[in-house]
Structure 1
Amino acid sequence: MTNNSTTQVSQPLNQILFGPPGTGKTFTTIERAVRAAEPNFSWANRDELKAKYQELIREGRIRFVTFHQSFSYEDFVEGLTAHTDDEKLVYEKRLGIFRQIVRDAKEHQNTEVKNPTNSFSDCWDAFLTEFEDHPEGVQISMKRSKFIITEVDGNTIRFDKNQGDSVNTLSVSTLEAIFNGERRFNGGLKPYYQSLISHLESLGEQLDKKAVKRQNYVLIIDEINRGNISRIFGELITLIEPSKRSGASEALEVTLPLTGDRFSVPDNLYIIGTMNTADRSLAGLDLALRRRFDFVEMPPLPEELKGISIDGIDVDKMLDVINRRITALLDKDHCIGHAYFIHLKDKAEVALTDLAEIFKQKIIPLLQEYFFEDWQRIRWVLNDQSKASANAFIVKDDAINFDELFPGDVQLNSRDRWRLNESAFEQATSYKQIYEVGSAE
């Protein structure tokens, strides 16, 4: 696989890859994330692409989050976290992954020469260096007094006032918001924040100016359909629209309810979501989300398996027939993807045991989930009803002696009980007769 930058198609800012399990959504997400973050990067094979992806992950330019039913606005945007400090319960504001990546993307939204005094990250890094050189603490001057910063622990800055032995705290996230002009602070700690910001700016003046190149950032949201979109995005769902991004003609900015910070989404942040249609169809997706994302269907592609032959079994034909039967019995959202078999292409020698392992570990469990363990319908998908018992993957379980287990006058509902026929997985005929209808003995 080779990426030719001269034939690139521009990536949409918001897109969702959707399809049944095993259709290659994970790999396509990696490919699209790298294309969005580094449009001019080209690769010759999968290993080069994955290496670049991992590099961008380490740099923080690609980040990953999984939505689930308990995932909330506080996890995604901002919230409060509680901890004890000197046996006192302290609440601190915590930035979610979305605010974090938006903040970093804004730092690289434009190509320009930046004055370090305008960059919180540069000034804060300079302060941390100063703090390491002064283990006894860093003294911060105020108009008529001073205070000493004694500890920096994550988001907490501890300091001693000029008089008294009490320990007080400041918040790094609050300090950054005030520094960037996103928040006004009028509480009793205001002079301490102002003095520390003045100190940071004086450190920034000692740094050299630096050229900042525009860089793209990517947020990957796995299983985006599993989350409560209204609850997670809240009022920010409008801000991700391309026309509402900062730098666009109709740019919007909102005030966040918890911190009061001004917030907007830059136009160099790409959002790539994935959704498994076996969990939830597009019809059940949040309308606000559907209007703001481009949807890219990822269907099963049995033709990708053409050429894989194991003891005369045509894997592409077998998967195609399985999926046509599933579509007839359920719908296309519950098909089986080609990615479960694609690694067989890379093997120098493919044995029947490789195919058996895929069926036992992946295909049969998926069918059980799809059909709620309705074994009769699973047999139809695998054409077991037309095979000799020796070649059927699922056969009746006649090993249970009910008279022996339940002696006396016990009325039991008469129903068929089924089991997996382990020996069928070891026979090529069992797989061929999935698609060779009428060939069963």
Structure 2
Amino acid sequence: MEGYPDRRVTELLRKGSEEDKAWFWTLIRTLRQRFPTADHYTVNLDPTDVRVGSKARAEKNGKVAFRIRWSKDGFTCDARDLKNHLALLQSQGVAEQINSRVQVDQPQINAWLDAVINAVSLEALPLEGEGRMPRDYENNESQSNDAEMSTAHNGGSTELPPLNQILFGPPGTGKTYNTINEALKILAPQLLEQNRGDDPDSRKRLKEAFDELVDKERIRFVTFHQSFSYEDFVEGLRARTDETTGQLRYDVVDGVFKSLCEAAASKVTQQADAPAGVGARRVWKMSLGNTLGDDASIFQECIDGGYVLLGYGGGINFAGCANRQQVQARFADNNVLPENPGTDYGITSVTAFVAKMKVGDLIVVSDGNFKLRAIGEVTGDYQFKPHSEFDADYSQMRSVKWLRHYQPSLPHSELLNGQFSQMTLYELRAPTLNKEKLEQLLGAGVPEGRAENDARVLIIDEINRGSVSRIFGELITLIEESKRAGRAEALSIVLPYSQTRFSVPDNLYIIGTMNTADRSLAGLDIALRRRFVFKEMAPMPDLLAGVQVADVSVCELLTEMNKRIEVLLDRDHCLGHAYFMPLKEDGLTEEQKLARLELIFRNQILPLLQEYFFEDWQRICWVLNDHRKGLDDRFVRQCKKRDAVALFGDASVPVQAGVWRINDKAFNRASAYAGIITANYKGEVSTDEPEEADA
């Protein structure tokens, strides 16, 4: 329905089967026909509610007549104002809701609507609006109807996370640290809401959830650098040795971005309950024809028929064969003699299919070496099924219960720790096979409190350090929100290596980090700037409030240094609070705090200032307020001018005003840090005699 699916509706429709989705649109059309003036709008992100009632664009809370939601039992539609109407519905025996798997056709939907109207009365239902659709509200900052419901499911905020965002700021402001929160805001908002605050245990739980999502390939992390390329990010050619011929071959291998896009776009189109004890079962990899080729129809035939077919063995019936010798003898009886019976793969694969594969084993159907497209359970013994269409090939059959069918195919990384082999049939074993991922694919479930959706997140650290035009290529257009798959202005392209059509799904989120002090390249590509939401991560000295080292306020220390840097340089080169966060650790003695502060200044702050000011020691002294301290408290000291004649003779050598030296003793003096905030000696430069420069 044109103008109807906004981002939330699109996200909601990912939950259901094709039958569920068809029911959803039948319901929407029915409601539109019966109540043409009613407004349709959405709230929440996970789970999403579609609401039918009355709501102005600028109105925060609308009035709801009907609500459509998703549950594990399908889509439901209920009479929303249950507080006032539930008793009326119950008194007349009217169900409070209908379900996509119970009331499956339009007459049943209309019958329920009639019953609700008769019980409640049409006048009592808030259905007088302006016929708005969900996308009419997309530019409205607040789409919430019930604030408490929206915040509970969206990390405490009604704001939808942007599809593309960049966290930017000076070094040490927690950009990479905060990507964990931003990713969980998308994938597990309820968990994030339950663990807000500075409690170390909360942070530990969030990090554990993040790591679990990384293990599941729901989150991918990559760092851009000057050598990172399109071939690493999207797709490229990789050389490998063919297992059967030993010849060098080149395969098109998906990069991190393309593989994550395909995982995000892949949907389960056929599903059945998985058997118990998945982790203990034998698992076989099997090819069912080529994706493109004369036998491309084999896969769909097997899916529709509930079986698998092996291409080896010709028209020979191998019933009764229990080992390799008997299979080999059956080949010989039919005058099919391989050149090397001991190593011929036809004999090996038939033996595995007929004699080794058992009822209850699992079969993973590959799609090339880097994708999988179905998982099934073997339910029957070997059968001979002549297949004249392929000159008697594909005549070896095992019945299978299909547990999962994916369209498009899933990346191999969703199941394996490596890639598939070229062989048609072989057993998958650890460490290549990841049994935990297999259990997840077959529905092991999400731990309580981890209400995840089906989105994927790509975190790009140091996004401004790579050549954006070279890495993204033509995909810079496709990541734009309006150009994502499923949107009104969706675009797709043909990729140069694989020659396949590709689009970016609208449930893939990109989170980048950008260090504003990085001078390794001139600036960020303007095309990237236009397609990302930028969120500043500024230094937050207040996070250090109350942290004292030998009576020196670390909050004030950082604040004063940043004020001076802003004047001497700019705000993009300030110092982040993260450098000083180790000082907040509980149980530190004063000696330990001072020792830790010394390491922070010696190993992080001073080298960073050297980088900022290109070794201009005078400016570094100004930032540290050294010019107004006594000699012993100066971190950097200028030594006496060298005697040029003694060093170089009569040569005309330009001589600097003096040689700068780092004063190691200052780093363990509390007064040196106190002097950064308030000078011990104000005004004039100290008259203490400069020390002689070391030889």
TM, length-normalised to structure 1: 0.77
The alignment status of 1:140 with 2:310, answered yes or no, reads yes
1:358/1:73 Cα in 2 relative to 1: closer, same or farther (>3 Å)? same
Aligned equivalents of 1:217, 1:91: Cα separation in 2: 29
Q: Hey, what does 1:92 align to over in structure 2? A: 251
1:167/1:226 Cα in 2 relative to 1: closer, same or farther (>3 Å)? farther
Candidates 262, 281, 289, aligned match of 1:103: 262
Q: Is the contact between residue 641 and residue 659 of structure 2 (CA under 8 Å) also seen in structure 1?
A: no
1:396/1:129 Cα in 2 relative to 1: closer, same or farther (>3 Å)? same
The alignment status of 1:425 with 2:663, answered yes or no, reads no
Aligned equivalents of 2:272, 2:528: Cα separation in 1: 38
Q: Residue 305 of structure 1: CA displacement?
A: 1.2
Q: Residue 100 of structure 1: CA displacement?
A: 1.2
Once the two structures are superposed, what CA deviation does each residue of 1:154-175 show, in whole Å capped at 9, x if it has no partner? xxxxxxx99767999xxx7647
Is the partner of 1:40 in helix, strand or coil?
helix
Q: Hey, what does 2:598 align to over in structure 1? A: 356
Aligned equivalents of 1:312, 1:167: Cα separation in 2: 80
Q: Hey, what does 2:223 align to over in structure 1? A: 66
AA at the equivalent of 1:335: C
Aligned equivalents of 2:521, 2:545: Cα separation in 1: 30
Candidates 266, 276, 289, aligned match of 2:515: 276
AA at the equivalent of 2:454: Q
Q: Hey, what does 2:291 align to over in structure 1? A: none
Aligned equivalents of 1:294, 1:72: Cα separation in 2: 23
Q: Hey, what does 2:625 align to over in structure 1? A: 383
1:178/1:4 Cα in 2 relative to 1: closer, same or farther (>3 Å)? closer
Q: Is the contact between residue 93 and residue 173 of structure 1 (CA under 8 Å) also seen in structure 2?
A: no
Once the two structures are superposed, what CA deviation does each residue of 1:146-204 show, in whole Å capped at 9, x if it has no partner? 9xxxxxxxxxxxxxx99767999xxx764778979xxxxxxxxxxxxx99xx98xx879
The alignment status of 1:413 with 2:684, answered yes or no, reads no
- Is 349-358 or 58-67 further displaced after alignment? 349-358
Q: Hey, what does 1:128 align to over in structure 2? A: 285
1:313/1:370 Cα in 2 relative to 1: closer, same or farther (>3 Å)? same
Candidates 554, 557, 561, aligned match of 1:315: 554
Once the two structures are superposed, what CA deviation does each residue of 1:2-37 show, in whole Å capped at 9, x if it has no partner? x96562332111100000000011211111112212
Aligned equivalents of 2:367, 2:618: Cα separation in 1: 59
Candidates 487, 500, 512, aligned match of 1:248: 487
Aligned equivalents of 1:319, 1:214: Cα separation in 2: 40
Q: Hey, what does 1:50 align to over in structure 2? A: 207
Aligned equivalents of 2:473, 2:677: Cα separation in 1: 49
Q: Is the contact between residue 82 and residue 90 of structure 1 (CA under 8 Å) also seen in structure 2?
A: yes
1:163/1:288 Cα in 2 relative to 1: closer, same or farther (>3 Å)? farther
Q: Is the contact between residue 102 and residue 269 of structure 1 (CA under 8 Å) also seen in structure 2?
A: yes
1:400/1:256 Cα in 2 relative to 1: closer, same or farther (>3 Å)? same
Q: Runs of 4 or more off by more than 6 Å in structure 1?
A: 142-146, 161-168, 175-180, 210-213, 399-404
Q: Hey, what does 2:298 align to over in structure 1? A: none
Determine what percentage of the aligned residue pairs are the same residue.
45
- Give the 5 Å matches for 1:225-264: 225-264=464-503
Q: Is the contact between residue 172 and residue 576 of structure 2 (CA under 8 Å) also seen in structure 1?
A: yes
Candidates 207, 212, 219, aligned match of 2:402: 207
Greater RCO structure (CA 8 Å; 6+ sep):
1
Q: Number of aligned pairs?
A: 388
Aligned equivalents of 1:90, 1:82: Cα separation in 2: 6
Aligned equivalents of 2:283, 2:211: Cα separation in 1: 28
Once the two structures are superposed, what CA deviation does each residue of 1:244-263 show, in whole Å capped at 9, x if it has no partner? 22222222221111111111
1:34/1:164 Cα in 2 relative to 1: closer, same or farther (>3 Å)? farther
Q: Residue 89 of structure 1: CA displacement?
A: 2.8
Candidates 174, 178, 181, aligned match of 1:24: 174
Is the partner of 2:261 in helix, strand or coil?
helix
Aligned equivalents of 2:368, 2:344: Cα separation in 1: 18
Q: Which has the larger radius of gyration?
A: 2
1:167/1:324 Cα in 2 relative to 1: closer, same or farther (>3 Å)? farther
Candidates 184, 189, 199, aligned match of 1:34: 184
AA at the equivalent of 1:431: Y
Q: Hey, what does 1:370 align to over in structure 2? A: 612
1:322/1:246 Cα in 2 relative to 1: closer, same or farther (>3 Å)? same
Is the partner of 1:220 in helix, strand or coil?
strand
AA at the equivalent of 1:296: K
AA at the equivalent of 1:7: G
Structure with more of its chain in helix, by fraction: 1
Aligned equivalents of 2:204, 2:371: Cα separation in 1: 40
Q: Hey, what does 1:7 align to over in structure 2? A: 156
AA at the equivalent of 2:653: L
Is the partner of 2:563 in helix, strand or coil?
helix
- Is 290-299 or 274-283 further displaced after alignment? 274-283
Q: Is the contact between residue 222 and residue 275 of structure 1 (CA under 8 Å) also seen in structure 2?
A: yes
1:313/1:176 Cα in 2 relative to 1: closer, same or farther (>3 Å)? closer
TM, length-normalised to structure 2: 0.50
Q: Residue 401 of structure 1: CA displacement?
A: 7.6
Q: Is the contact between residue 94 and residue 173 of structure 1 (CA under 8 Å) also seen in structure 2?
A: no
Aligned equivalents of 2:531, 2:570: Cα separation in 1: 26
Q: Hey, what does 1:78 align to over in structure 2? A: 235
Candidates 568, 573, 591, aligned match of 1:329: 568
1:347/1:4 Cα in 2 relative to 1: closer, same or farther (>3 Å)? farther
Is the partner of 1:47 in helix, strand or coil?
helix
Once the two structures are superposed, what CA deviation does each residue of 1:229-282 show, in whole Å capped at 9, x if it has no partner? 111111111111122222222222211111111111112111100010001599
Once the two structures are superposed, what CA deviation does each residue of 1:54-95 show, in whole Å capped at 9, x if it has no partner? 111111111100111111110001000113456633211111
- Give the 5 Å matches for 1:330-345: 330-345=569-584
For structure 2, the residue ranges without an aligned partner over 5 or more in a row are 1-150, 197-201, 274-281, 289-307, 317-335, 346-365, 375-388, 405-441, 446-451, 687-695
1:326/1:176 Cα in 2 relative to 1: closer, same or farther (>3 Å)? closer
Q: Residue 293 of structure 1: CA displacement?
A: 0.5
1:400/1:242 Cα in 2 relative to 1: closer, same or farther (>3 Å)? same
Is the partner of 1:7 in helix, strand or coil?
coil
Coordinate RMSD, CA, aligned: 3.7
AA at the equivalent of 1:412: V
